[in-house]
Amino acid sequence: MTPPRILTGQVLCFTRSPFQGDPAGSARLDEAVLIENGHISRTGPLADLRTAAPDARIERYDDHLISPGFIDAHAHYPQTGIIASWGKRLRDWLETYTFPEEMRLSDPAYAHEIAHRYLDLTLANGTTTVATFCTSHAHSTDAFFEAAQSRNLRAVAGKTCMDRNAPAGLLDTAQSAYDDSAALIARWHGTGRLTYAITPRFSPTSTPDQLSALGALWAEHPTCLMQTHLSEQVEEIAWVKTLFPTARDYLDTYESHGLLGPRGLYGHAIHLTPRERARLAEVGAALVHCPTSNTFIGSGLFDMAARIHDGHRIGLATDTGGGSSFSMLRTMAAAYEIGQLSGTPLHPAQLWWCATAGSADALHMSDSIGTIAPGTEADLVAIDLASTPAIAQRAATAADLWSALFPTIMMGDDRAIAQVWVTGEPQR
């Protein structure tokens, strides 16, 4: 058993959602956090924690922010090698860059290499939990879960299911998607810190039969998450209309096949109809905002303030590699910029909450991760608030935590991540 640890710093403890009431008053800063057996025991003055755990090792990060690790609620680890590919919108981008690269993961050794490369990059950026699509090869999900397990990460993944409108080498069938997903659920779901997400890529690449089979599978395994894409681009919505002529709308292509529920994660969800918005809110499903992807692929502006007002559950995500960064700092910056274009600047507390507690809520993991609260797992980051000269000179004039943090949100990168702990164990 590892000895207890005390981390000193500015320990960020949200006391409520920063979307309810004054955002600036939604968190308190404690002096230290005590970690025992991989979990947070308590926070408070250093002297109190020393008394509580006299044999604890003390690690000092006094000028740093100690935060929950970032949680990326939607990503594609197989797209690591094609991130930042130029010049295409969604369908062309899939056909030109994404599908050929996903085909390369038919080689299990390459899938293993990319899974580890991806987790090296996300951990370096302070992300301690991701929910990722894999490829349609079942072994790509094994490769990811094995890589996450070897680092003791809490992680979500699923085999991407596609039985039409993709290259033959990536197609499964309704039956094989069901069988392979069921076998992966049996192997991985609830094993240690791992959670399975049933993963139809999006309606255009699944037949109604496949969507039905996956809806039935979800009903048999209701503790699984379900992740997919919804209403990302207007051309995509028109395509869905031609493929599902009797559906009421895009969401109905999922809903009518058993693929709408509170544990559903709907990536992008930008261009929703009033019925779709109302149903998603009523069910308590999560919309996952992917701001760098939405600007990079040219998809549109997700109206975070309106969706929060409507009562939606919302996660924040990179959407690597449609998204152009592995960093949740860069992702928060893009969410801020999109908020500005939609007429609502998000407060730094709101941005930070989305990247931690908000994404944890989207994944139904608030009891385990995303906050620094007694009993939760000690997946933490130490943020250097002066990681570059440009950020340091700006933070030096800040009057409070949020104005000290905002320059790091807007200009920070992996240099701001001074340390990462996974279940209390430092990663470097």
Q: What is the contact surface with ligand GUN in residues (CB under 6 A)? A: 76, 90, 94, 98, 201-202, 229, 232, 293, 297, 319, 322
Left (φ > 0), alpha (ψ -120 to 50) or beta: where does 274 sit? alpha
- Residue 280 or residue 416: which is nearer to Zn ion going by CB? 280
Between 31 and 319, name the residue whose CB sits nearer to ligand GUN.
Answer: 319
Residue nearest to ligand GUN (CB): 322
- Taken in order 256, 72, 307, 28, is the CA torsion positive or negative? positive
With CB cut-offs between 5 and 8 Å by kind, which of ligand GUN, Zn ion, none does residue 162 bind? none
Q: Find which of ligand GUN, Zn ion, none residue 232 binds, CB within 5 to 8 Å per kind.
A: ligand GUN
Residue type, 295: T
Q: Is 319 in the site for Zn ion (CB under 5 A)?
A: yes
Comparing CB distances to ligand GUN, the nearer of 202 and 421 is: 202
If the CB atoms of residues 79 and 419 are measured against Zn ion, the closer one turns out to be 79
Mapped onto helix, strand or coil, the DSSP state of residue 227 is strand
CB of 290 to ligand GUN, least distance (A): 7
202 binds, options Zn ion, ligand GUN, none, Cβ within 5 to 8 A by partner type: ligand GUN
Q: What is the closest distance, in whole angstroms, from the C-beta atom of residue 311 to ligand GUN in the complex? A: 25
Question: Does 315 interact with Zn ion (rule: CB under 5 A)?
Answer: no
| Dist CA 274 CA 279 (whole Å) | 9
Of 232 and 361, CB closest to ligand GUN: 232
Q: How far is CA 114 from CA 82, 135, 234, 317, in A?
A: 11, 12, 31, 19
**CB closer to ligand GUN, 163 vs 232:** 232
Out of 267, 291, 321, 323, name the contact with Zn ion by CB under 5 A. 267
Per-residue contact track with Zn ion, 236 to 265, x per CB under 5 A? ------------------------------
The answer to whether 45 and 11 have CB atoms below 8 angstroms apart is no
Shortest approach of Zn ion to residue 340 CB, angstroms? 24
* 376 in Cβ contact with 67 (< 8 Å): no
d(CA 63, CA 60): 9
Among residues 267 and 291, whose Cβ is nearest to Zn ion? 267
Binding string to Zn ion for residues 295 to 314, with x set by CB under 5 A, is what?
--------------------
Query: With contact defined as beta carbons under 8 Å apart, do 177 and 139 qualify?
Result: no
Report the run of H or E that residue 155 belongs to, with start and end.
Answer: strand 155-158
Q: Are 111 and 78 in contact (CB under 8 A)?
A: yes
Question: Can you read off the two tokens belonging to residue 180?
Answer: 């392979």
Pick the closer one to ligand GUN by CB: 359 or 371. 359
From residue 118, how far is each of 132, 134, 141, 161 by CA, in Å?
Answer: 11, 12, 13, 21
For residue 267, the minimal CB distance to Zn ion (Å) is 5
Residue 98 binds which of ligand GUN, Zn ion, none (CB < 5-8 A, kind-dependent): ligand GUN
Q: Choose the contact partner of 132 out of Zn ion, ligand GUN, none; CB within 5 to 8 A by kind.
A: none
Helices within 36-95 (DSSP H only): 46-52, 90-93
Residue 164 burial (CB count, 10 A): 12
Pair 324, 83: CB distance under 8 Å: yes
Q: Which amino acid belongs to residue 367?
A: D
Residues lying near Zn ion in the complex (CB under 5 A): 267, 319
